[in-house]
Structure 1
Protein backbone atom coordinates (compact mmCIF):
# COMPACT_ATOMS: atom_id res chain seq x y z
CA UNK A 1 0.00 0.00 0.00
CA UNK A 2 2.82 2.41 0.90
CA UNK A 3 4.48 1.67 -2.44
CA UNK A 4 1.25 2.62 -4.22
CA UNK A 5 0.90 5.87 -2.26
CA UNK A 6 4.60 6.80 -2.39
CA UNK A 7 6.13 4.82 -5.27
CA UNK A 8 9.88 4.35 -5.27
CA UNK A 9 11.69 6.47 -7.81
CA UNK A 10 15.11 6.17 -9.37
CA UNK A 11 17.62 8.19 -7.36
CA UNK A 12 19.34 9.18 -10.60
CA UNK A 13 16.53 10.24 -12.91
CA UNK A 14 13.22 9.87 -11.06
CA UNK A 15 11.88 6.91 -13.05
CA UNK A 16 9.15 5.12 -11.09
CA UNK A 17 9.59 1.72 -9.46
CA UNK A 18 13.34 1.29 -8.97
CA UNK A 19 16.18 2.49 -6.76
CA UNK A 20 18.37 2.99 -9.82
CA UNK A 21 17.09 2.32 -13.32
CA UNK A 22 19.24 0.45 -15.84
CA UNK A 23 20.37 3.55 -17.77
CA UNK A 24 21.45 5.20 -14.51
CA UNK A 25 23.25 2.02 -13.40
CA UNK A 26 25.06 2.01 -16.73
CA UNK A 27 26.14 5.61 -16.19
CA UNK A 28 27.54 4.72 -12.76
CA UNK A 29 29.40 1.70 -14.17
CA UNK A 30 31.65 3.72 -16.45
CA UNK A 31 35.40 3.29 -16.02
CA UNK A 32 36.81 5.58 -13.29
CA UNK A 33 38.95 8.41 -14.65
CA UNK A 34 42.00 10.29 -13.39
CA UNK A 35 41.44 13.77 -11.95
CA UNK A 36 44.04 16.54 -11.68
CA UNK A 37 42.74 18.87 -8.93
CA UNK A 38 44.06 22.42 -8.62
CA UNK A 39 45.44 21.69 -5.16
CA UNK A 40 47.69 18.68 -5.69
CA UNK A 41 47.42 16.05 -2.91
CA UNK A 42 50.49 14.29 -4.39
CA UNK A 43 48.69 10.96 -4.78
CA UNK A 44 46.56 9.69 -7.68
CA UNK A 45 42.99 11.01 -7.65
CA UNK A 46 40.16 9.21 -9.46
CA UNK A 47 36.43 9.83 -9.87
CA UNK A 48 33.56 7.56 -10.84
CA UNK A 49 31.74 10.26 -12.79
CA UNK A 50 31.28 14.00 -13.33
CA UNK A 51 29.38 16.23 -10.92
CA UNK A 52 26.25 16.46 -12.99
CA UNK A 53 23.36 14.45 -14.36
CA UNK A 54 22.86 10.99 -12.86
CA UNK A 55 25.86 11.19 -10.54
CA UNK A 56 24.87 14.52 -9.01
CA UNK A 57 21.23 13.47 -8.60
CA UNK A 58 22.16 10.19 -6.93
CA UNK A 59 24.63 11.75 -4.50
CA UNK A 60 22.17 14.48 -3.53
CA UNK A 61 19.38 11.92 -3.13
CA UNK A 62 21.52 9.99 -0.65
CA UNK A 63 22.87 13.03 1.20
CA UNK A 64 19.92 15.39 1.23
CA UNK A 65 16.83 13.24 0.73
CA UNK A 66 17.65 10.21 2.84
CA UNK A 67 17.75 7.69 -0.02
CA UNK A 68 19.60 5.06 1.99
CA UNK A 69 18.32 2.39 -0.40
CA UNK A 70 20.73 3.71 -3.04
CA UNK A 71 23.78 3.21 -0.81
CA UNK A 72 24.29 -0.52 -1.64
CA UNK A 73 24.07 0.29 -5.36
CA UNK A 74 26.74 3.00 -5.16
CA UNK A 75 28.83 0.90 -2.75
CA UNK A 76 28.93 -1.92 -5.30
CA UNK A 77 30.07 0.50 -8.00
CA UNK A 78 32.76 1.90 -5.71
CA UNK A 79 34.05 -1.59 -4.96
CA UNK A 80 34.17 -2.47 -8.66
CA UNK A 81 36.07 0.74 -9.40
CA UNK A 82 38.63 0.02 -6.69
CA UNK A 83 39.07 -3.57 -7.92
CA UNK A 84 39.58 -2.23 -11.45
CA UNK A 85 42.13 0.39 -10.36
CA UNK A 86 43.90 -2.19 -8.22
CA UNK A 87 44.09 -4.66 -11.13
CA UNK A 88 45.52 -1.88 -13.30
CA UNK A 89 48.21 -1.20 -10.69
CA UNK A 90 47.01 2.30 -9.84
CA UNK A 91 45.92 1.32 -6.32
CA UNK A 92 47.31 -1.39 -3.99
CA UNK A 93 45.93 -4.93 -4.13
CA UNK A 94 42.40 -5.06 -2.71
CA UNK A 95 43.46 -7.39 0.11
CA UNK A 96 45.69 -4.61 1.44
CA UNK A 97 43.35 -1.65 0.92
CA UNK A 98 41.82 0.28 3.79
CA UNK A 99 39.12 2.81 2.89
CA UNK A 100 38.91 5.97 4.94
CA UNK A 101 35.99 8.38 4.38
CA UNK A 102 36.95 12.01 3.85
CA UNK A 103 36.52 14.12 6.99
CA UNK A 104 33.18 15.71 7.72
CA UNK A 105 31.75 17.71 10.59
CA UNK A 106 30.31 15.33 13.17
CA UNK A 107 27.20 17.43 13.71
CA UNK A 108 26.43 17.44 9.98
CA UNK A 109 26.80 13.65 9.92
CA UNK A 110 24.45 13.26 12.89
CA UNK A 111 21.81 15.45 11.24
CA UNK A 112 21.93 13.18 8.19
CA UNK A 113 21.58 10.05 10.30
CA UNK A 114 25.21 9.16 9.70
CA UNK A 115 27.84 10.08 7.16
CA UNK A 116 26.69 8.87 3.70
CA UNK A 117 30.25 8.42 2.43
CA UNK A 118 31.07 6.17 5.38
CA UNK A 119 27.94 4.12 4.68
CA UNK A 120 28.89 3.79 1.00
CA UNK A 121 32.41 2.69 1.95
CA UNK A 122 31.02 0.03 4.28
CA UNK A 123 28.72 -1.19 1.51
CA UNK A 124 31.81 -2.15 -0.52
CA UNK A 125 32.65 -4.97 1.90
CA UNK A 126 36.23 -3.68 2.12
CA UNK A 127 37.96 -2.65 5.36
CA UNK A 128 36.82 0.82 6.46
CA UNK A 129 38.36 3.00 9.17
CA UNK A 130 37.36 6.50 10.23
CA UNK A 131 40.66 8.31 10.81
CA UNK A 132 39.80 12.01 10.83
CA UNK A 133 36.95 14.50 11.12
CA UNK A 134 36.51 18.23 10.52
CA UNK A 135 36.57 20.72 13.36
CA UNK A 136 33.11 22.10 14.12
CA UNK A 137 34.32 25.64 13.40
CA UNK A 138 35.26 25.00 9.76
CA UNK A 139 33.16 27.01 7.29
CA UNK A 140 31.09 25.58 4.47
CA UNK A 141 33.38 25.48 1.44
CA UNK A 142 30.64 26.09 -1.14
CA UNK A 143 31.54 29.10 -3.25
CA UNK A 144 35.16 29.28 -2.09
CA UNK A 145 38.00 29.20 -4.61
CA UNK A 146 41.01 26.89 -4.25
CA UNK A 147 43.16 29.18 -2.06
CA UNK A 148 40.21 30.02 0.19
CA UNK A 149 39.29 26.34 0.57
CA UNK A 150 42.90 25.56 1.44
CA UNK A 151 43.03 28.34 4.04
CA UNK A 152 39.65 27.26 5.46
CA UNK A 153 41.02 23.78 6.20
CA UNK A 154 44.27 24.80 7.89
CA UNK A 155 44.21 23.08 11.28
CA UNK A 156 40.63 21.93 10.72
CA UNK A 157 41.31 18.23 10.03
CA UNK A 158 41.40 16.47 13.39
CA UNK A 159 42.34 12.93 14.38
CA UNK A 160 39.68 10.60 15.70
CA UNK A 161 40.17 10.03 19.43
CA UNK A 162 40.12 6.26 19.07
CA UNK A 163 41.88 6.02 15.76
CA UNK A 164 42.80 2.41 14.99
CA UNK A 165 46.28 1.40 13.97
CA UNK A 166 46.61 1.18 10.21
CA UNK A 167 49.52 -0.67 8.61
CA UNK A 168 48.16 -0.93 5.05
CA UNK A 169 47.90 1.80 2.43
CA UNK A 170 44.83 4.00 2.88
CA UNK A 171 42.52 5.05 0.06
CA UNK A 172 40.64 8.24 0.87
CA UNK A 173 37.01 8.28 -0.35
CA UNK A 174 34.92 11.44 -0.86
CA UNK A 175 31.60 12.25 -2.48
CA UNK A 176 32.96 15.01 -4.73
CA UNK A 177 36.42 16.33 -5.49
CA UNK A 178 36.51 19.99 -6.53
CA UNK A 179 39.78 21.81 -5.82
CA UNK A 180 41.51 18.95 -3.99
CA UNK A 181 41.90 21.04 -0.83
CA UNK A 182 40.14 18.57 1.47
CA UNK A 183 42.13 15.61 0.17
CA UNK A 184 45.39 17.52 0.50
CA UNK A 185 44.71 18.70 4.06
CA UNK A 186 43.65 15.19 5.08
CA UNK A 187 46.67 13.50 3.54
CA UNK A 188 49.00 15.99 5.20
CA UNK A 189 47.38 15.35 8.58
CA UNK A 190 47.59 11.57 8.21
CA UNK A 191 51.18 11.80 7.00
CA UNK A 192 52.12 13.54 10.25
CA UNK A 193 50.59 10.56 12.08
CA UNK A 194 52.65 8.15 10.00
CA UNK A 195 49.74 6.91 7.88
CA UNK A 196 50.33 6.59 4.14
CA UNK A 197 47.52 7.50 1.76
CA UNK A 198 48.02 5.78 -1.59
CA UNK A 199 45.16 7.35 -3.53
CA UNK A 200 41.88 9.22 -3.53
CA UNK A 201 38.65 7.93 -5.07
CA UNK A 202 35.71 10.33 -5.32
CA UNK A 203 32.20 9.45 -6.36
CA UNK A 204 32.15 12.54 -8.58
CA UNK A 205 34.45 15.31 -9.82
CA UNK A 206 33.35 18.91 -10.26
Structure 2
Protein backbone atom coordinates (compact mmCIF):
# COMPACT_ATOMS: atom_id res chain seq x y z
CA UNK A 1 0.00 0.00 0.00
CA UNK A 2 2.83 2.40 0.85
CA UNK A 3 4.43 1.77 -2.54
CA UNK A 4 1.14 2.70 -4.22
CA UNK A 5 1.04 6.05 -2.41
CA UNK A 6 4.79 6.78 -2.49
CA UNK A 7 6.20 4.46 -5.15
CA UNK A 8 9.83 3.52 -4.72
CA UNK A 9 12.20 3.45 -7.64
CA UNK A 10 15.92 2.99 -7.89
CA UNK A 11 17.77 6.28 -8.13
CA UNK A 12 20.15 4.84 -10.69
CA UNK A 13 17.99 2.89 -13.14
CA UNK A 14 14.36 3.42 -12.12
CA UNK A 15 13.76 -0.19 -11.09
CA UNK A 16 10.60 -0.40 -8.95
CA UNK A 17 10.30 -1.21 -5.24
CA UNK A 18 13.84 -0.26 -4.29
CA UNK A 19 15.71 2.96 -3.65
CA UNK A 20 19.07 1.63 -4.86
CA UNK A 21 19.34 -1.72 -6.61
CA UNK A 22 22.29 -4.16 -6.51
CA UNK A 23 23.15 -3.56 -10.18
CA UNK A 24 23.51 0.19 -9.62
CA UNK A 25 25.51 -0.44 -6.45
CA UNK A 26 27.87 -2.57 -8.51
CA UNK A 27 28.15 0.22 -11.10
CA UNK A 28 29.49 2.56 -8.40
CA UNK A 29 32.03 0.08 -7.02
CA UNK A 30 35.70 0.92 -7.58
CA UNK A 31 38.04 -1.14 -9.68
CA UNK A 32 41.54 -1.85 -8.45
CA UNK A 33 42.95 1.06 -10.49
CA UNK A 34 40.27 3.60 -9.56
CA UNK A 35 39.81 6.49 -9.01
CA UNK A 36 41.39 7.54 -12.30
CA UNK A 37 43.40 10.67 -12.98
CA UNK A 38 41.52 12.92 -15.40
CA UNK A 39 42.72 15.94 -17.36
CA UNK A 40 40.13 18.74 -17.46
CA UNK A 41 40.68 21.48 -20.02
CA UNK A 42 41.56 23.90 -17.22
CA UNK A 43 44.41 22.47 -15.17
CA UNK A 44 44.11 23.32 -11.43
CA UNK A 45 47.77 22.48 -10.88
CA UNK A 46 47.10 19.44 -8.68
CA UNK A 47 46.01 15.88 -9.57
CA UNK A 48 42.31 15.55 -10.39
CA UNK A 49 40.74 12.16 -9.71
CA UNK A 50 37.28 10.90 -10.68
CA UNK A 51 35.46 7.77 -9.57
CA UNK A 52 33.91 7.23 -13.01
CA UNK A 53 32.21 8.77 -16.00
CA UNK A 54 29.15 10.99 -15.66
CA UNK A 55 26.93 8.40 -17.27
CA UNK A 56 24.52 5.58 -16.46
CA UNK A 57 23.46 5.00 -12.84
CA UNK A 58 26.17 7.36 -11.57
CA UNK A 59 24.77 10.27 -13.56
CA UNK A 60 21.15 9.43 -12.72
CA UNK A 61 21.91 9.25 -8.99
CA UNK A 62 23.75 12.58 -8.97
CA UNK A 63 20.92 14.28 -10.87
CA UNK A 64 18.27 12.71 -8.64
CA UNK A 65 20.07 13.92 -5.50
CA UNK A 66 20.74 17.44 -6.74
CA UNK A 67 17.62 18.19 -8.76
CA UNK A 68 14.92 15.94 -7.32
CA UNK A 69 15.73 15.92 -3.62
CA UNK A 70 16.59 12.21 -3.43
CA UNK A 71 18.50 12.50 -0.16
CA UNK A 72 18.09 8.74 0.26
CA UNK A 73 20.88 8.46 -2.32
CA UNK A 74 23.41 10.17 -0.06
CA UNK A 75 24.49 6.87 1.58
CA UNK A 76 25.48 5.01 -1.64
CA UNK A 77 27.13 8.06 -3.19
CA UNK A 78 28.92 8.89 0.07
CA UNK A 79 30.12 5.30 0.32
CA UNK A 80 31.64 5.55 -3.16
CA UNK A 81 33.30 8.84 -2.20
CA UNK A 82 34.64 7.28 1.01
CA UNK A 83 36.15 4.40 -0.95
CA UNK A 84 37.83 6.90 -3.27
CA UNK A 85 39.33 8.84 -0.36
CA UNK A 86 40.60 5.68 1.31
CA UNK A 87 42.10 4.49 -1.97
CA UNK A 88 44.04 7.77 -2.32
CA UNK A 89 45.23 7.37 1.26
CA UNK A 90 46.39 3.83 0.52
CA UNK A 91 48.24 5.02 -2.58
CA UNK A 92 50.04 7.72 -0.59
CA UNK A 93 48.47 10.55 -2.57
CA UNK A 94 46.93 11.82 0.68
CA UNK A 95 47.97 11.62 4.29
CA UNK A 96 46.19 12.02 7.60
CA UNK A 97 45.27 14.23 9.28
CA UNK A 98 43.29 15.40 6.27
CA UNK A 99 40.78 18.16 5.62
CA UNK A 100 38.12 17.71 2.94
CA UNK A 101 36.90 20.96 1.40
CA UNK A 102 33.70 20.76 -0.67
CA UNK A 103 33.71 22.78 -3.89
CA UNK A 104 31.53 25.89 -3.69
CA UNK A 105 27.99 26.05 -4.97
CA UNK A 106 25.65 28.95 -5.67
CA UNK A 107 23.71 29.90 -2.55
CA UNK A 108 20.46 30.08 -4.50
CA UNK A 109 20.99 26.53 -5.77
CA UNK A 110 21.85 25.30 -2.27
CA UNK A 111 18.68 26.82 -0.82
CA UNK A 112 16.60 25.29 -3.61
CA UNK A 113 18.10 21.88 -2.87
CA UNK A 114 17.64 22.14 0.89
CA UNK A 115 21.37 22.47 1.48
CA UNK A 116 24.59 21.81 -0.36
CA UNK A 117 24.59 18.15 -1.48
CA UNK A 118 28.38 18.00 -1.94
CA UNK A 119 28.95 19.06 1.66
CA UNK A 120 26.43 16.49 2.86
CA UNK A 121 28.11 13.79 0.81
CA UNK A 122 31.55 14.71 2.15
CA UNK A 123 30.35 14.74 5.75
CA UNK A 124 28.69 11.33 5.36
CA UNK A 125 31.76 9.89 3.64
CA UNK A 126 34.24 10.71 6.41
CA UNK A 127 32.05 10.64 9.51
CA UNK A 128 33.64 7.42 10.73
CA UNK A 129 37.23 8.59 10.27
CA UNK A 130 38.45 10.64 13.27
CA UNK A 131 41.47 12.02 11.39
CA UNK A 132 39.51 13.45 8.47
CA UNK A 133 37.54 16.68 8.89
CA UNK A 134 35.19 18.49 6.52
CA UNK A 135 35.59 22.26 6.17
CA UNK A 136 32.91 23.86 3.93
CA UNK A 137 34.78 27.16 3.68
CA UNK A 138 34.50 27.97 -0.02
CA UNK A 139 31.77 30.34 -1.16
CA UNK A 140 30.65 31.71 -4.51
CA UNK A 141 29.94 35.41 -4.73
CA UNK A 142 26.40 36.34 -5.68
CA UNK A 143 27.61 37.60 -9.06
CA UNK A 144 28.48 34.04 -10.16
CA UNK A 145 25.89 32.68 -12.58
CA UNK A 146 24.66 29.16 -13.20
CA UNK A 147 27.39 27.48 -15.27
CA UNK A 148 25.16 24.85 -16.89
CA UNK A 149 25.64 24.97 -20.64
CA UNK A 150 28.72 27.20 -20.54
CA UNK A 151 31.94 26.24 -22.31
CA UNK A 152 35.35 26.17 -20.66
CA UNK A 153 36.22 29.81 -21.43
CA UNK A 154 32.79 31.07 -20.32
CA UNK A 155 32.93 28.99 -17.14
CA UNK A 156 36.36 30.34 -16.33
CA UNK A 157 35.20 33.94 -16.82
CA UNK A 158 32.06 33.29 -14.79
CA UNK A 159 34.05 32.02 -11.79
CA UNK A 160 37.15 34.20 -12.05
CA UNK A 161 37.57 36.04 -8.76
CA UNK A 162 34.19 34.81 -7.49
CA UNK A 163 35.35 31.95 -5.25
CA UNK A 164 36.27 33.10 -1.76
CA UNK A 165 37.17 31.60 1.59
CA UNK A 166 34.80 32.12 4.51
CA UNK A 167 36.35 30.63 7.60
CA UNK A 168 39.64 28.99 8.54
CA UNK A 169 41.42 25.99 7.06
CA UNK A 170 44.36 24.31 8.77
CA UNK A 171 47.48 25.01 6.75
CA UNK A 172 49.47 22.25 8.46
CA UNK A 173 47.51 19.34 6.93
CA UNK A 174 46.70 18.07 3.45
CA UNK A 175 43.50 19.34 1.87
CA UNK A 176 41.37 17.45 -0.63
CA UNK A 177 38.83 19.40 -2.69
CA UNK A 178 35.76 17.29 -3.50
CA UNK A 179 32.95 17.88 -5.98
CA UNK A 180 30.21 15.90 -7.67
CA UNK A 181 31.36 16.43 -11.29
CA UNK A 182 34.38 17.85 -13.05
CA UNK A 183 33.67 19.14 -16.55
CA UNK A 184 35.95 21.93 -17.75
CA UNK A 185 37.90 22.19 -14.48
CA UNK A 186 36.92 25.83 -13.90
CA UNK A 187 35.51 25.26 -10.40
CA UNK A 188 38.44 23.06 -9.40
CA UNK A 189 40.97 25.61 -10.68
CA UNK A 190 39.40 28.55 -8.86
CA UNK A 191 38.96 26.53 -5.67
CA UNK A 192 42.54 25.28 -5.64
CA UNK A 193 43.80 28.76 -6.51
CA UNK A 194 42.17 30.60 -3.62
CA UNK A 195 43.15 27.88 -1.15
CA UNK A 196 46.76 27.93 -2.34
CA UNK A 197 46.94 31.71 -2.05
CA UNK A 198 45.73 31.32 1.54
CA UNK A 199 48.68 29.05 2.28
CA UNK A 200 46.74 25.78 2.16
CA UNK A 201 48.44 22.64 0.84
CA UNK A 202 45.95 21.23 -1.66
CA UNK A 203 46.95 17.63 -2.39
CA UNK A 204 44.33 17.00 -5.06
CA UNK A 205 40.76 17.09 -6.27
CA UNK A 206 38.34 14.13 -6.12
CA UNK A 207 34.97 14.00 -7.86
CA UNK A 208 32.21 11.44 -8.13
CA UNK A 209 32.23 11.76 -11.91
CA UNK A 210 33.91 13.36 -14.89
CA UNK A 211 32.16 14.58 -18.00
Fold in common (TM above 0.5) = yes
Unaligned runs of 5+ in 2: none
State the match for 2:56 in structure 1: 53
| Equivalent residue runs for 1:35-114 within 5 Å | 35-89=38-92, 91-93=93-95, 95-114=96-115
What whole-Å deviation, never above 9, does each CA across 1:13-51 have from its counterpart, x for those lacking one?
011222211111111113321101111111111111111
Helix, strand or coil at the partner of 2:164: strand
Name the TM-score, length of structure 2 as normaliser. 0.91
Rounded Cα–Cα distance in structure 2 between residues aligned with 1:192 and 1:164:
12
State the match for 1:158 in structure 2: 164
Cα displacement (A) at 1:2: 3.0
> Is 1:23 the equivalent of 2:23?
yes
RMSD of the TM alignment (CA)? Answer: 1.4
State the match for 2:192 in structure 1: 187
Q: Which moved more, 1:15-24 or 1:113-122?
A: 15-24
State the match for 1:34 in structure 2: 37
Unaligned runs of 5+ in 1: none
Cα displacement (A) at 1:166: 4.6
What whole-Å deviation, never above 9, does each CA across 1:101-149 have from its counterpart, x for those lacking one?
1011122111210000101001112411012111111122122221221
State the match for 1:121 in structure 2: 122
Equivalent residue pairs, number: 203
What whole-Å deviation, never above 9, does each CA across 1:142-184 have from its counterpart, x for those lacking one?
2222122111111100111x33545311111111101111101
Rounded Cα–Cα distance in structure 1 between residues aligned with 2:51 and 2:76:
13
Instruction: Select which of 174, 181, 192 maps to 1:169.
Output: 174
Rounded Cα–Cα distance in structure 1 between residues aligned with 2:198 and 2:78:
28
